[in-house]
Amino acid sequence: MSRDRWSKRNAKGISDMQAIDLSHEDIEAYLARHQKKELLRFLTCGSVDDGKSTLIGRLLHDTKTIYEDQLAAVKRDSEKVGTTGAGEIDLALLTDGLKAEREQGITIDVAYRYFSTDRRKFIIADTPGHDQYTRNMATGASTCQLAIILIDARYGVMTQTRRHSYIVSLLGIRHVIVAINKMDLVEYSRDVFERIKDDYTGFVAKLDLHDITFIPMSALKGENVVSKSDTMPWYSGPPLLDYLETVHIAGDRNLTDLRFPVQYVIRPDLNFRGFAGTIESGVLHKGDEVMLLPSGKRSTVKSIVTYDGELEEAFAPQAVTVTLTEEVDLSRGDMLVHPGNQPHVSSDIEAMVVWMTEQPLVPGRPYTLKQTTKQVTAEVVSFRYGVDVNTIEHRPIARLGLNEVGHVRLSLTQPLACDPYRTNAATGAFILIDRLTNNTVGAGMIVETGSSRGPGDVWEAEPEVSLKPRESLIATSEREQRYDQLPVTILLIGLTGSGKSRIAYELERRLWDEGRAVMVLYGQTMRQGLNRDLGFSADDRSENLRRSAEVAKLLNDAGLITIAAFVAPHEGVRGKVKQLIGPDRVLEIFCTAPMEVLRERDQYGMYQMADEGKIAQMPGVSAVFEEPKSPDLVLQTDQVNVDECVNRIVALMKSRGFMRDR
Amino acid sequence: MSSSSRNYNLTHLKVLEAESIHIIREVAAEFERPVMLYSIGKDSAVMLRLAQRAFYPGRLPFPLLHVDTTWKFREMIEFRDRFCREQGVDLKVWTNPEGKAQNINPFDHGSKKHTDIMKTAALKQALNHYQFDAAFGGARRDEEKSRAKERVYSFRDRLHQWDPKNQRPELWNLYNSKVNKGESIRAFPLSNWTELDVWQYIHLENIPIVPLYFADVRPVVERDGTLIMVDDQRMPLRPGEEPMMKRVRFRTLGCYPLTGAIESEATTLPEIIEEMLLARNSERQGRMIDHDESGSMEQKKREGYF
């Protein structure tokens, strides 16, 4: 049966090799048609077990990109090492490259494949699905516009699916096809397909992926790959190849922001001085006023020169040579932009970095950073957080190891003209090169630059727009009357293991049972939602607390008692919290115990991880905890049990007039 | 500014052209002594044109290097000399002096030894002699399986060797040009071109190519199932072999005793392209050096062959 299907598709003829009539008119018409094709680069993610190699082999085979001698070689190999049945071609072998890999039965690097149809030329970046090869996937993804994420229909969304999707999102790929493969092994079940689709949609909501298409298929049998399969009548969408041929990619390019990094200065004689480069984004016209970065000087485009003659305008990604009306000092590494549309120019950048070598990335070590045509020296100042690529969760880190991803703050020896990667991949991307080994060790995507606001300033910053707050029609006194309490924030502070959270929740229970309106704000909970973009650096801890204080204030404004449990190691930041909420509405309670007790109680092993350097800037270990100067209450939690702590807090609240006895 | 009423789309060939020019300029800017390997074939012809585009109206800021095994087709050498003179490019020709002294040839020494000494070793000698730190090659990733994983910048150690397991990651269009003294890179600006792209580009751009690509009546013998052209008197004929006049052409060009001809009627570029589209065998099949053993190209690359 499968053999019949193949021949049916072959006869359909959709490729370079399609049956064309052997007359001259045909070949000329064919060439004219094929000279107008668009180029689409896509990535395939999945493991051999998902049928990825088979899918690629299928695309190449069914578009007749495989020559007979290559096919014959694969047929020979199929008998020796193939995993398909006797006499069948193992299409996966078409994409295996190096000898050693073939012997191991795995693909270990990024391999590029080419095929074309009447509409488009395609470049496939084939990347492996194994754990240790995050770096290869990032490499493959960096040049792609679309990604195909393979899921084995029998197993559904797996850890590697999450990992692949995260990297695809991180590298800014705009279009995703989720290929739910091996549908033949689940009886072409619509339920299975829909369940996987729902699972995937649920998980991917956390990522910056928007254009997602789901296609059920069997690469082995060629169903919904090149032509539509009648085994899945419930699927109304196009087969994979139709989608690849028609997905709208023209809008992906940034044609708004002119960025022209100077690559090479062409100076054949004294009369000509041309600045050669690739227009990375935007459109450049003859006569445009341009700004030279980093100098900030201005000039005007005199001509846009190419081998075919001068152009009136040029656009991304054309490679051209520009001459200017004035003699200016401009060389490789500089950039031309429009004066009304400038990138950030900063020597302080924040970026997501994928680390690609055994020797970890650590603060303070200098690396060569290459962005556009510029090279500078860069070093890590601090880590905001690391990302677990399997769960997409953030965690504190002190270094970045092989195949790890982290949010990093970098300091540069010279400023870069750059944009956030999301808005401009060409000026937002960089590589890091080890200065001893000369190896490419990291790939970076700029998130923001130092010229944009830092979290440290936010406490005092004025809102960016003028705001007119409105007064509630419910008076504060009305709320006090209804709840029979004065709103207050109980600020429980102290090191990890000091008992804050236990006390907070016990206190909440006690107050609730007394009929109070009360709620706990717990640091870790805040970090899962509102503050999940924050890490554990001093700045991020400060911002975590600022936002939490804003929430506490709102809750207090609503008349509720708020119990806030935070490490809050800095006296200055705690002072700001009190100012923000209102000093007379905060009770600062310091929970403390000797370090050995804290370590004993530490159920998550945070201290041990900090000792091992797995957590950076851990208060009490690798960062300071400033004891409060004048807390409202100190609870020595190694000496007083939780009940008694709660008693003391309740007594304090009453003595300060926030509640009456009931 | 005129507004964006027009469409800013580029064809795939224009995108490939821009990418190649970017690579060529990058190498020229970041290396001290680059060189462009010129094999006289169609890929070299395209690569050279792209380089001329990259530096127009200036001249090429690097020389061309041809490694001459002394067994190239005569028409290739004639074309090379005339074309380079017309184009005003700086051509350097290198032949392995020891190999030449020992009269190494594919007939007496076999294709492997000939290629090792007259091509691979000769190339390394030339690179060392001129102290080139970057060499452009016209290889494409679609040519052969082991090429599919090759980087655009392929790092080579002091012995010019390639280690497929120790390649530098290559992201975006940000190429790593850092090498220590004695080390080098091979740069492949045509990495993402296919055979069809190359022919289409030659057609569109009217790029001159060696006439051997077009069908003509030529003297050939059939040897081990391959048609070999009797290009000069040095070719020893085996007993019973009699050169026949056949209308043939070549899909790839190299040393004539190692390059198989195909029977063909294609005398124009569209006809060549048409024939290629209908062909059922890949172009490297005509190259005998690939067939020695499975994975042989990979082995050669490790040793320093292009």
Q: Which residues of A touch B191 (CB under 8 A)?
A: 112
Which residue in B18, B176, B295 is closest to A318 by CB distance? B18
Our measurement of the distance from residue A122's CA atom to the centroid of its chain's CA atoms, rounded to an integer in Å, reads 25
Of A426, A289, A441, A439, the residue nearest A355 (C-alpha): A441
Q: What is the mean pLDDT of residues A68-93?
A: 63
Q: Which residues contact B134 (CB under 8 A, 6 or more apart)?
A: B27, B31, B33, B34, B35, B177, B184, B185, B186, B187
Q: Which residues of B touch A333 (CB under 8 A)?
A: none
Residue A653: pLDDT band (50, 70, 90) is: very high
Q: What is the mean pLDDT of residues B281-298?
A: 53
Q: Measured between CA atoms, how close is A615 to chain B, in angstroms?
A: 28
**Neighbouring C-beta atoms of residue A441, cutoff 10 Å:** 27
B3 contact A CB<8A? no
Q: Measured between CA atoms, how close is A264 to chain B, in angstroms?
A: 6
- Given a cut of 70, whether residue A461 has pLDDT beyond it is no
Chain A and chain B share a number of CB contacts under 8 A equal to 207
Chain A nearest-CA residue for B298: A98
Q: Measured between CA atoms, how close is B189 to chain A, in angstroms?
A: 14
C-alpha to C-alpha distance for B69 and B114, rounded to whole angstroms: 8
Cβ within 8 Å, pair A112-B149: yes
Per-domain boundaries in chain A:
2-14+39-252, 260-337, 344-452, 483-655
Q: Which residue pairs, CB below 8 angstroms and at least 24 apart, start in A341-344?
A: A341/A256, A341/A257, A341/A258, A341/A282, A342/A291, A342/A293, A342/A417, A343/A257, A343/A259, A343/A293, A343/A417, A343/A418, A343/A419, A343/A424, A343/A427, A344/A417, A344/A418, A344/A419, A344/A449, A344/A451, A344/A452
Q: Please state which CATH class domain A2-14+39-252 belongs to.
A: alpha beta
Question: Structure tokens of A58?
Answer: 């299928």
Residues 326-345 of A with CB under 8 A from B: 332
Cβ within 8 Å, pair B277-A20: yes
B206 contact A CB<8A? no
A655 contact B CB<8A? no
Residue count (chain A): 662
Provide CATH 3.40.50.620 ranges for chain B. 12-197+296-303
By the 8 A CB rule, do A636 and A593 touch?
yes
Backbone dihedral angles phi then psi of residue B153, each to the nearest 5 degrees: -100, 115
Q: A576-585 b/e with 16+ CB inside 10 Å = b?
A: bbbebbeeeb
- Find which of A16, A42, A103, A310 to mutate to test the B interface (most B CBs within 10 Å of its CB): A16
Q: Which residues of A touch B178 (CB under 8 A)?
A: 368, 433, 438
Residue B64: pLDDT band (50, 70, 90) is: very high
The answer as to CATH 3.40.50.620 being correct for domain A260-337 is no
Share of chain A above pLDDT 90, in %: 53
Which residue in A69, A138, A272 is closest to B285 by CB distance? A69
Cβ within 8 Å, pair A38-B149: no
C-alpha to C-alpha distance for B284 and A19, rounded to whole angstroms: 23
Instruction: Please state whether B171 falls in left (phi above 0), alpha (psi between -120 and 50) or beta.
Output: beta
Cβ within 8 Å, pair B176-A433: yes
The answer as to CATH 3.30.1330.20 being correct for domain A483-655 is no
Question: Structure tokens of A577?
Answer: 């919290």
- Find which of B23, B140, B145 to mutate to test the A interface (most A CBs within 10 Å of its CB): B145
Q: Which fold has domain A344-452?
A: Elongation Factor Tu (Ef-tu); domain 3 (2.40.30)
Q: Could you read off the pLDDT of A518-571 as tens digits, one per residue? A: 999 988 788 878 887 777 766 777 888 889 999 999 999 999 999 999 888 888
The pLDDT value given to residue B200: 92
C-alpha to C-alpha distance for B289 and A438, rounded to whole angstroms: 34
Q: Which residues of A touch B142 (CB under 8 A)?
A: 113-114
Asked if the domains at A260-337 and A344-452 fall in one CATH topology, the answer is yes
The answer as to CATH 3.40.50.620 being correct for domain B12-197+296-303 is yes
- Which of these ranges, A239-243, A326-330, A376-380, B131-135, has the smallest mean pLDDT? A326-330
Q: Could you read off the pLDDT of A298-315 as tens digits, one per residue? A: 999 999 999 999 999 999
